């Protein structure tokens, strides 16, 4: 039996990533129960706070993706309730969740990240879309990658290979957020590096290489089995793999994250990794990258989640 009395897994929420979050929550609940933990899975509704007050859990595992799950809001509530949870604190979440801000932080500690422009919808319209987009193409060149400044699961994200494709990409991006991040596209190997810390400092798991069938790792490619081929560990040289691990741990530390994170990178032809973004609540579904990385490292996912919860619970007694 577990040394934890009972734990709460939060999943669902009201973001665009609700269905993915529910799948993550189910997976985490299943693997934790297999380790002997008494698991309660809950959505974020009006009954959540009264339930926690009536029967406080030993720790909470947050599998909420996007919105309140990653912008620090739910974690702020958990702190008000004095309930320990796995993952970064609210302040760190707010910084990491905003992609342009996260890029600025990691750049300040020497990491490479693609050159970019951040453009709110109001500026896009007020200054004249045609003129502004023309200058962006002149400044950054082509191809480009457009994505919402906040959010995940590649919703609203697209590759732009010609100037004529950029207006439609911006419209698609603004459907999922009020600010667009337009990056210079870096051609290379797409990898994700998960970082975990169960109390002995952050450690990078093996990089997972992502090869989508259609060439773009979009929402369907992420969550539909068979649409993407994964290699864990990634097919990188030892030197490039070490550079990716170092980049992910450096980003995790610079952004003030704790317990768990996943950093998305592009490795160019020289083996140099470029930071794209970081996720403070990585997906835990059957097609998600952190579980693949844990398996590649020879770690049981249930044992890892158990250790993360135990470490979080220990903070409340410190």
Residues 196 and 200: their CA atoms lie apart, in Å, by: 10
Query: In terms of domains, do 231 and 269 share one?
Result: yes
The answer to whether position 34 is within a domain reads yes
The answer to whether position 18 is within a domain reads yes
Query: In terms of domains, do 169 and 249 share one?
Result: no
Query: In terms of domains, do 179 and 193 share one?
Result: no
The answer to whether position 199 is within a domain reads yes
Q: pTM for this one?
A: 0.93
Give, as one character, the DSSP assignment of residue 258.
-
Q: Give helix 238-254 / helix 99-108 axis angle, nearest 10°.
A: 110
- What is the reported pLDDT for 16? 80
Q: Is 153 a catalytic residue?
A: yes
Residues 240 and 270: their CA atoms lie apart, in Å, by: 9
Q: Can you read off the two tokens belonging to residue 68? A: 């309140």
- 8 A C-beta contact, residue 11 and residue 24: yes
Q: Give mean pLDDT, residues 233-254.
A: 98
Query: In terms of domains, do 291 and 191 share one?
Result: yes
Query: In terms of domains, do 67 and 155 share one?
Result: no
According to the annotation, is 286 in a ligand binding site?
Answer: no
- What is the reported pLDDT for 307? 97
The answer to whether position 304 is within a domain reads no
What is the domain range of residue 176? Answer: 116-184
Residue partners of 217: CB distance under 8 A and separation at least 6:
154, 190, 210, 228
- What is the reported pLDDT for 207? 98
Query: In terms of domains, do 134 and 228 share one?
Result: no
Q: How far apart are the first and last CA of the chain?
A: 23
Q: Can you read off the two tokens belonging to residue 213? A: 């069938």
Query: In terms of domains, do 198 and 272 share one?
Result: yes
- 8 A C-beta contact, residue 85 and residue 75: yes
Given the residues 15, 17, 21, 158, the one annotated as active site: 17
- What is the reported pLDDT for 154? 75
According to the annotation, is 246 in a ligand binding site?
Answer: no
CATH number of the CATH domain containing 49 = 3.40.50.20
Query: Given CA atoms 115, 119, 123, 127 in this order, what sign does their dihedral have?
Result: positive
Query: In terms of domains, do 197 and 132 share one?
Result: no
Query: In terms of domains, do 77 and 25 share one?
Result: yes
Q: What are phi and psi of 275, to 5 degrees?
A: -70, 130
The answer to whether position 96 is within a domain reads no
Q: Give mean pLDDT, residues 113-135.
A: 85
Q: Minimal CA–CA distance to 263: which of 292, 286, 289?
A: 289
Q: Can you read off the two tokens belonging to residue 203? A: 């450690």
According to the annotation, is 311 in a ligand binding site?
Answer: no
Q: Which of 184, 201, 218 is the last residue of a domain?
A: 184
Interval 164-204: pLDDT, tens: 999 999 999 999 899 999 999 999 999 999 999 999 999 99
Given the residues 153, 158, 194, 261, the one annotated as active site: 153
Q: To which residue do tokens 């734990």 refer? A: 7
Q: Which of 162, 184, 206 is the last residue of a domain?
A: 184
CATH number of the CATH domain containing 280 = 3.30.470.20
Q: Is 21 a catalytic residue?
A: no
CATH number of the CATH domain containing 156 = 3.30.1490.20
């Amino acid at each position: 039996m577990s040394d934890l009395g009972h734990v709460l897994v939060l999943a669902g929420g009201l973001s665009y990533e609700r269905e993915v979050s529910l799948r993550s929550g189910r997976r985490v609940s299943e693997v934790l129960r297999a380790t002997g933990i008494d698991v309660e899975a809950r959505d974020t509704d009006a009954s959540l706070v009264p339930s926690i007050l009536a029967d406080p859990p030993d720790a909470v595992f947050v599998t909420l993706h996007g919105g309140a799950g990653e912008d620090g809001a739910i974690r702020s509530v958990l702190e008000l309730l004095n309930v320990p949870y796995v993952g970064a604190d609210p302040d760190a979440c707010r910084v990491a969740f905003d992609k342009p801000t996260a890029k600025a932080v990691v750049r300040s500690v020497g990491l490479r990240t693609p050159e970019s422009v951040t453009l709110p919808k109001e500026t896009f319209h007020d200054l004249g879309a045609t003129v502004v987009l023309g200058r962006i193409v002149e400044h950054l060149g082509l191809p480009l990658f457009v994505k919402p400044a906040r959010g995940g699961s590649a919703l609203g994200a697209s590759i732009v290979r010609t100037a004529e494709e950029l207006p439609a990409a911006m419209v698609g991006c603004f459907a999922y957020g009020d600010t667009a991040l337009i990056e210079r596209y870096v051609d290379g190997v797409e990898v994700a590096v998960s970082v975990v810390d169960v109390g002995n400092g952050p450690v990078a798991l093996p990089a997972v290489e992502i090869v989508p069938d259609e060439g773009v790792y979009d929402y369907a490619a992420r969550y539909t089995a068979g649409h993407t081929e994964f290699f864990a560990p990634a097919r990188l040289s030892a030197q490039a793999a070490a550079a990716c691990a170092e980049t992910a741990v450096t980003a995790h530390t610079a952004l003030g994250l704790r317990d768990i994170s996943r950093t998305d990178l592009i490795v160019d032809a020289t083996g140099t990794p470029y930071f794209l973004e970081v996720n403070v609540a990585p997906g835990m579904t059957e097609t998600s990258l952190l579980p693949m990385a844990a398996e590649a490292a020879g770690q049981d996912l249930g044992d890892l989640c158990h250790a993360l919860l135990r470490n979080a619970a220990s903070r409340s007694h410190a």
